[in-house]
Amino acid sequence: MRLLIKNGTVVNSDNKFISDVLCVDNKIVEIANSIELSDDDSEIIDASGCFVFPGGIDPHVHMNLPSKAGFSSDDFNSGSKAALWGGTTSIIDFVTPHRSQFLDEAIHQRLTEASNCNTSFSFHISPVKWHDDMDGQIKQCIDLGFTSFKVYTAYKDTIGISDDDLLKVMKSVGKHGGILLIHCELGDAIDSNKSELTKQGKRSPFYHPLSRPSYTESQAVKNAIELAYEACCPIYIVHVSTQESLSYIRDAQKRGQLVYAETCPQYLLFDDSRYNGKFIDTASFVMSPPLRKKEDIDALWVALADGTIHTVGTDHCPFSIKQKAEGIDDFRKIPNGVGGVEHRLQLLFTYGVVSGKITINKFVELTSTNAARIFGLYPKKGIIDVGADADIVIWNPEEKSMISSTTHHQNTDINIYDGMEIVGSPEYVILDGKLIKEGNSFSNELSVGRLLKRK
Ligand code: URP
Ligand code: ZN
């Protein structure tokens, strides 16, 4: 199977040039000017005026996540279709075992749930409790190609990890050459804030951010950085939302510690004024950490541009209006999370590149290259190069559209980006050498995505 992309502007994290790109089967085999093919059965796409990006990699999604209000509303099938529609060809989700479950058993269960995923995919593995044989289990995950792990310092009553266990997990992950993702929030302080507020009758979504003030994130970030230093463990801090967290991360990076950082479009585009208003409008924005202040948003954009933040993931975890309404009388019962896997590239292109906050190369770095590098997929993914996987997005930079919950592909009746204007569109999406999306339709029968074995 041959696919020839002609006259596009190839953009990688460190270069930009006009060229043809030839894919054979699932690989890029040639990048050159004026590639000509003699056979008739090759597919040819004219990409004049378009950018040719490496397929997006979203390193933070939660398909089919169990919550007290039911599962997050996108399963692997619907969520991965939405991802492809927006130019994301690989996703990394999570395996979260029960406290006493073996990691490999939980991986097998999650693989069944992901068996109808249409993108390439992998999982970060979450040790939720230390067991005597956990060190061996972590090593086994790495040998299987699951080289990243995730812990939560919030959610102490369900999946949160104790400080003692966190240090043990860090030492083990570091020793075996893995990387640890950390959801940094002070779980105990938040739990006591939540009890105090609700005792006072403060139960609307307005109080959600007040229960999780800025310091509950930044202090947890500081603690995690100190523990990781002691444990010699590379860490990746998910969904960074505050200016103060960034200053701890920056200091650690300056000392040479391996501390990577991610933020998400919701923290770059909205502030905490979204918690003023009617229940469903405000409940739609209930996520953890919560939205912050204008100064935090400005600091996040600076940190994207200067390299303190390495990736933009989505933390895609949508719920329906009905599910959010579980917390109509008590914000603690509102399922936490928002959708966005479909819009990550368009939002970052419009509000980052077009608005002049980041360069087009930085856009590629943040949406694809750095996730590939950090999570062991580079140089098969994250770059347009000979020998790389043929995961490619042909981007029309002129196309204008508007996000709407009535036209999106995510399985939810909520879209926090509803009504936002977008510039730029993934005109063609190619996964493993196959043309998946063309203009406004999926072009091929979608096939099941590949489980990625990571280094
Ligand atoms: O509110 C959020 N972030 N929901 C998804 C689960 C998590 O905490 O990452
Ligand atoms: Zn998350």
* Residue 416 beta carbon below 6 angstroms from any ligand 1 atom: no
Please give the C-alpha separations between residue 284 and each of 199, 326, 418, in angstroms, as whole numbers.
23, 12, 11
How many angstroms separate the alpha carbon of residue 163 from the centre of ligand 1? 20
What pLDDT sits at residue 340?
98
Question: How many angstroms separate the CA atoms of 10 and 21, rounded?
Answer: 9
Is the whole-model pTM more than 0.85? yes
The CB of 93 under 6 Å from ligand 1? The reply is no
88 Cα to the center of ligand 1, angstroms: 20
In 33-106, beta strands by DSSP E? 43-46, 51-54, 56-58, 88-95
Instruction: State phi, psi for 193 to the nearest 5 degrees.
Output: -60, -45
C-alpha to C-alpha distance for 429 and 435, rounded to whole angstroms:
6
Q: Tell me which residue has tokens 């590098």.
A: 373
Q: DSSP 3-state assignment of 85?
A: helix
Residue located nearest, by CA, to atom 4 of ligand 1: 337
Q: Is the CB of 287 under 6 A from ligand 1?
A: yes
For residue 325, give every residue at least 6 positions away whose Cβ sits within 8 Å of its Cβ, in sequence order, or none.
279, 280, 283
For the CA atoms of 193, 195, 201, 206, the dihedral, rounded to the nearest 10 degrees, stands at: 40
Ligand 1 pocket residue status of 315, Cβ below 6 Å: yes
Distance 353 CA to ligand 2 centre (A): 25
Average pLDDT, stretch 275-286? Answer: 98
288 lines ligand 1 (CB under 6 A): yes
- pLDDT of residue 291 exceeding 90, the answer is yes
| pLDDT tens track for 304-347 | 999 999 999 999 999 999 999 999 999 999 999 999 999 999 99
The answer to whether the CB of 168 is under 6 A from ligand 1 is no
pLDDT, residue 93, reads 98
| CB of 427 shorter than 6 A to ligand 1 | no
- Separation of alpha carbons 252 and 170, rounded Å: 16
Nearest CA to ligand 1 atom 5: 337
Identify the residue whose tokens are 């999780």.
212
Coil, helix or strand for 288?
coil
pLDDT of residue 448: 86
3-state SS, residue 242:
coil
Q: In angstroms, how far is the first alpha carbon of the chain from the final one?
A: 28
Q: Are the CB atoms for 56 and 80 separated by under 8 Å?
A: no
Torsion of CA 45, 49, 52, 55, to 10 degrees: -90
The answer to whether residue 41 scores a pLDDT higher than 90 is no
Q: Which pLDDT belongs to residue 61?
A: 98
Ligand 1 pocket check for 185: Cβ under 6 Å: no
Residue partners of 276: CB distance under 8 A and separation at least 6: 206, 282
**Is 132 in contact with 140 (CB distance < 8 Å)?**
no
| Beta carbon of 62 within 6 Å of any ligand 1 atom | yes
Mutate-to-test residue for ligand 1 from 161, 185, 287, 334, highest number of ligand atoms within 8 A of CB = 287
| pLDDT score of 443 | 85
Q: Check if 434 has its Cβ closer than 6 Å to any atom of ligand 1.
A: no
336 lines ligand 1 (CB under 6 A): yes
Q: Which of helix, strand or coil describes residue 43?
A: strand
Atom 9 (ligand 1) nearest CA = 315
Fold held by 56-374: TIM Barrel (3.20.20)
Distance of alpha carbon 224 from the chain centroid: 20
Tokens of 422: 């977008």
**Ligand found nearest the CA of 267:** 1
Give the pLDDT confidence score for residue 422 in this predicted structure: 98
pLDDT tens by residue, 113-157: 999 999 999 999 999 999 999 999 999 999 999 999 999 999 999
Are the C-beta atoms of 107 and 125 separated by less than 8 Å?
A: yes
284-309 mean pLDDT: 98
What is the tens place of the pLDDT at every residue in 387-443? 999 999 999 999 999 999 999 999 999 999 999 999 999 999 999 999 999 999 998
Q: Whose CA is nearest to atom 3 of ligand 1?
A: 288
Residue 445: band (very low, low, confident or very high) from pLDDT cuts 50, 70, 90: confident
* β-sheet bridge partners, residue 256: none
CA distances, 88 to each of 16, 84, 130 (Å) = 20, 5, 34
Q: In the numeric block, which tokens belong to residue 330?
A: 């008590």
Q: Looking at domain 2-53+386-398+424-442, which of 1.10.3720.10, 1.25.40.10, 2.30.40.10, 1.20.1440.230 is its CATH number? A: 2.30.40.10
Atom 6 of ligand 1, residue of closest alpha carbon: 337
Statement: residue 286 has pLDDT above 80: yes
Is any atom of ligand 1 closer than 6 Å to the C-beta of 124?
no
* pLDDT over 70 percentage in the chain: 100
**pLDDT, tens digit, 9 for 90 and up, residues 162-221:** 999 999 999 999 999 999 999 999 999 999 999 999 999 999 999 999 999 999 999 999
Q: What does the alpha-carbon distance between residue 227 and residue 407 come to, in Å, rounded to a whole number?
A: 45
- Mind listing the pLDDT tens digit for each residue in 64-89? 999 999 999 999 999 999 999 999 99
CA atoms within 13 A on the CB side of 263: 30
The residue count of the chain comes to: 455
Distance of alpha carbon 408 from alpha carbon 424, whole angstroms: 16
Return the number of other C-beta atoms located less than 10 Å from residue 32's C-beta: 10
The residue extents of the domains of the chain are: 2-53+386-398+424-442, 56-374
Atom of ligand 1 at shortest distance to CA of 336? 1
- pLDDT bin (cut points 50, 70, 90) of residue 38 is confident
- Looking at the chain, the whole-number percentage of residues with pLDDT higher than 90 is 97
Could you give the 3-state DSSP secondary structure of residue 230?
helix
CB neighbour class for 2 (10 Å; exposed up to 12, middle 13-18, buried from 19):
middle
- Flag whether pLDDT at 58 surpasses 90: yes
